[in-house]
Amino acid sequence: MPNTRVIRISFCGLGTVGQGVWKHISANRSQLETRLGVRFELHRVAVRSLNRTRDVAIPAERITTDALAVATDPQADIICELMGGTELAREVTLAALRAGKIVVSANKALICDHGAEIFAAARKHGGHFFFEASVAGGIPIIKALREGLVANRFRLIYGILNGTCNYIITRMVAEGAPYAEILADAKRLGYAEADESLDVDGWDTAHKASILAYLAHGVWVKTEQMIVDGISKLTQADLRTTEQLGYRIKLLAVITRDFDLNEISVRVHPTLLPKSKVLANVNGVFNGIAVEGDVVGTTTYIGRGAGQDATASAVISDIADAITLLTTGRVVATGEASIELHERAGTTPKLAPLGHIRTRYYLRLTVQDEPGVLAQIASVMAGNRISIASVVQTAAERPDAASIILTTHESDERAMHHTLAEFAKLGCVLEAPLLLRIGDFHD
């Protein structure tokens, strides 16, 4: 096909994911080119260091350290921004969009922090921004929300969005080993970063939750407007007790919408999920997302969340959609128009005050092992109108102390906040309590 259009793809960043993308495009090249009716060309590549060895051989004249030059090169059709970080990545993305390019990105932190600016730039200058790889790479969840479930409004979305946390919790359950030991092992195996905070403290999950909330509801929710808790305080006692209560602990993002109040809430926290739920059985590095649509009911999606290949699969699917746009002029219902659409339809929701979020709670308190302690605890909770559903008292890990594990009936964050403040003033409570939330979702 001598007249076949050539699509020039450039990469800003050619690390693990970028190399994976080009490796898989090359491996399936004839099939992809036939399907899309084009020929691919690797146009230019920007990297931090020219000297590093890479799986993909790049001719010297096509490789540079100047990412902005690659992003704005007039000949490039598609810019894959796979460099990570939010500063240079933001500049590169905005520059490419202002030049009317299509940008494909896997950068969830960038989208969460600068999404509004990015989509505004795309709208203003006729660029396009694709980001399927930014959330749960192995799961085509963004396409599902935007196209497959277009008939639906979403009361509830919840999911396991961070493979590192799920891997750590899964191994803690399977092996009975403490958190710190599994984390150290995960670092050694490359499943956790040297600075694990982004993963285990919930921030990575929060970035992805922000993107899902934007797609489903057309609102950018900042991480500081969410509840964000991590997994680093979990102990074997918590895992054992929750197991006995019929639950598994998973770090979940939970996005709810109340259509009567027209409010949404976004939160990230370790959650007690009933064992019968599908996501309670999604283990290891896998991600899973449950979406409740008002028409379709609950649909669930499971797949690898990260890693070279899963992310590459998502980037290539975006490249394919980008090519359809380039060759047919199709303006898809991409996320860039989401806010505008919600605004035009008059459906933009407000953020629910965090204190109004209602759930059941799990509380582990380390207390002095002496008479009257449980009475004091129970009295504080009663004063805040929080009703206790179950209590287990065991020996604590430190001597002369007891561990009290409570579950509550439904209450709200405000009441729980006051309760924790009062606990802090009780002499018998020896440590900051561990607070988990129970996910009895009615889906």
Parallel/antiparallel/unpaired status of strands 434-438 and 38-46 = unpaired
Nearer to a second copy, 102 or 227 (CB): 102
Pick out residues in 151-180 that bind a second copy (CB under 8 A).
151-153
**In the complex with a second copy, which residue's Cβ is closer, 32 or 76?**
32
Task: Please tell me whether residue 3 binds a second copy under the rule CB under 8 A.
Answer: no
Does 2 bind a second copy (CB under 8 A)? Our answer is no
d(CA 36, CA 38): 6
Minimum distance from residue 5 beta carbon to a second copy (Å) = 14
> Can residue 262 be called a binding residue for a second copy (CB under 8 A)?
no
- Which amino acid makes up residue 167? Y
- Rounded to whole angstroms, the Cα distance separating 85 from 87 reads 6
CB distance 293 to 216 below 8 Å: no
Amino acid at 142: I
| Active site annotation includes 101 | no
Give min distance, CB of 159 to a second copy, in A: 13
Angle between helices 108-125 and 88-98 (to 10 degrees): 20
**Does 4 contact a second copy by CB under 8 A?**
no
- CA distances to 9, 39, 50, 172, 349 from 239, in Å: 47, 53, 47, 8, 36
**Contacts to a second copy from residues 285-344, by CB under 8 A:** 293, 295-304, 309-310, 312-314, 316-317, 320-321, 324, 328-333, 341, 344
Of the candidate spans 223-231, 274-282, 377-385, 420-428, the one that interacts with a second copy by CB under 8 A turns out to be: 274-282
User: What x-and-dash track marks residues 34-53 binding a second copy by CB under 8 A?
Assistant: xxx-----------------
Is there binding between residue 139 and a second copy (CB under 8 A)? yes
Tell me the closest approach of the beta carbon of residue 307 to a second copy, in angstroms.
8
CB burial readout 255-292, b (16+ within 10 A) else e:
bbbeeeeebbbbbbbbbbbeeebebbebbebbbbbbbb
Q: How many CB atoms lie within 10 A of CB 442?
A: 7
Nearest approach, Cβ of residue 338 and a second copy (Å): 9
- Identify the DSSP state of 429: B
Looking at 15, 148, 178, 274, which residue binds a second copy (CB under 8 A)? 148
Query: If DSSP codes are grouped into helix, strand and coil, which group holds residue 249?
Result: strand
Q: Which of residues 338-397 bind a second copy (CB under 8 A)?
A: 341, 344-347
Name the CA radius of gyration of the chain, rounded: 24
Q: Which residues bind a second copy (CB under 8 A)?
A: 24-25, 28, 30-32, 34-36, 132, 137-140, 143-144, 147-153, 278, 281-282, 293, 295-304, 309-310, 312-314, 316-317, 320-321, 324, 328-333, 341, 344-347
The catalytic residue positions are 208
